[in-house]
Amino acid sequence: MPIAVVNEVDEQRPSSFTYVAKVTYLRLNNHSLLIGCHCTSQCSKSVDCKCKIENGQEFPYDNHRHLIKEKPYVYECGNSCNCSDSCINRVSQQGIQFQLEVFKTKSKGLGVKSRSYIPSGSFVCEYVGEFLSAKEAEQRVGSRDEYLFHIGDNCRDRNFKEEWIPLYESRPSNFSEKDIGGSAIDAAQYGNVARFINHSCSPNLYVEKVLYDDPEIPHIMLLAKKNMPPSKELTYDYKYRLGELCHINGNFKAKECFCSSLKCVGKFY
Ligand SMILES: C[S@@+](CC[C@H](N)C(=O)[O-])C[C@H]1O[C@@H](n2cnc3c(N)ncnc32)[C@H](O)[C@@H]1O
């Protein structure tokens, strides 16, 4: 799916990066694969589909391939499953289905909109980039950190805090190693259209963690929160807590939010 870049405001072009359609992993992991299902026909017709059971005894998507409700994790069928690539439980793996456009916004740099109508619950795109440990990500904070997406702690621990880890340009004296948990995706050098999606305090997309190969490495999928007419800017909530990012001098980093929502809290970190 080609992505158009349109700037009717000024001469700005996207800074240089390598467009990739899949997350890149810097090292080979020894991780186990999720145990797949053994369905010989369609998973939707099987009563004992393992992936259905993993999703709480129900398929996460309806027949139109829309996610029925937001969940902490969605388990899709994957490489270790017996079903075919057209299985109804492989929605986000089919890639981008809507014509997206990168455009110049008034006050937030570049942003993304859709050229077509997007129904609620539709998969829009994956946040793609270099997969890093939180420790590796921490080393990138301060330079080109604009495109870091923090995931949180190990997926195996279902009770992990959904909140994002604290990030510092330089460690404060009371900083300990165990403060760094989780992982991140850096889309600064390698990324896709998702790296251009801006934050909003009233977003129209939400983040869903989807597992289909490695049980510890979720895919960060962006889905439509509501029905969206064409040309609406696509946004999600970056979910930083205010005061989460620190400068080297110990002062909090802050970025003014220009989302223009009535619910805007003024800053997004
Ligand atoms: C992931 S990038 C989004 C794409 C970016 N606008 C660009 O031109 O490449 C995140 C950066 O976009 C800008 N941004 C995103 N949402 C914003 C908002 N609601 N208000 C102001 N700036 C925003 C900030 O500079 C932020 O660090």
> Tokens for 129?
């980039």
DSSP 147: T
Q: Which atom of ligand 1 is nearest to the CA of 201?
A: 19
Distance 53 CA to ligand 1 centre (A): 39
| Residue whose entry in the numeric block shows the structure tokens 């696509």 | 234
DSSP 251: P
User: Which residues fall within 8 angstroms of residue 2, CB to CB, at 6 or more apart?
Assistant: none
Task: Check residue 114 and give its pLDDT.
Answer: 98
Q: Is 109 in the pocket of ligand 1 (CB under 6 A)?
A: yes
> Tokens for 212?
């289909």
Q: What is the CA radius of gyration of the chain?
A: 19
Residue nearest to atom 24 of ligand 1 (CA): 108
Task: Check residue 154 and give its pLDDT.
Answer: 41
Task: Check residue 165 and give its pLDDT.
Answer: 38
The count of C-alpha atoms lying within 13 angstroms of the C-alpha of 106, restricted to the half-sphere facing its C-beta, is 5
Mutate to test the pocket of ligand 1, among 5, 199, 264 (most ligand atoms within 8 A of CB): 199
Residue nearest to atom 11 of ligand 1 (CA): 146
Distance 44 CA to ligand 1 centre (A): 40
Residue 112's alpha-carbon distances to 157, 190, 222, in angstroms, are: 33, 17, 12
Task: Check residue 183 and give its pLDDT.
Answer: 86
Distance 182 CA to ligand 1 centre (A): 23
Are 141 and 169 spatial neighbours (Cβ–Cβ below 8 Å)?
A: yes
Task: Check residue 108 and give its pLDDT.
Answer: 96
Q: What is the pLDDT along the chain (269 residues), one digit of tens a residue?
A: 899 999 999 998 999 999 999 999 876 555 667 889 999 888 988 889 999 999 999 999 999 999 999 999 999 999 999 999 999 999 999 999 999 999 999 999 999 999 999 999 999 999 999 999 877 887 777 667 889 998 875 433 333 333 333 444 443 444 443 444 578 899 999 999 999 999 999 999 999 999 998 888 899 999 999 999 999 999 999 988 777 666 655 667 788 999 999 999 898 87
Torsion of CA 13, 16, 18, 19, to 10 degrees: -10
Q: Is 199 in the pocket of ligand 1 (CB under 6 A)?
A: yes
> Tokens for 256?
């003014």
User: What 3-state class would DSSP assign to 66?
Assistant: coil
Residue 209's alpha-carbon distances to 72, 117, 150, 253, in angstroms, are: 7, 24, 12, 27
Task: Check residue 11 and give its pLDDT.
Answer: 92
112/103 Cα distance (integer angstroms) = 6
> Do the strands 100-104 and 233-236 form a parallel or antiparallel pair, or are they unpaired?
unpaired
- What are the tens digits of pLDDT across the range 131-187? 998 778 877 776 678 899 988 754 333 333 333 334 444 434 444 434 445 788 999
Q: Is 104 in the pocket of ligand 1 (CB under 6 A)?
A: no
Helices H / strands E in the chain, number of each:
2, 17
Mutate to test the pocket of ligand 1, among 102, 107, 146 (most ligand atoms within 8 A of CB): 146
Task: Check residue 174 and give its pLDDT.
Answer: 44
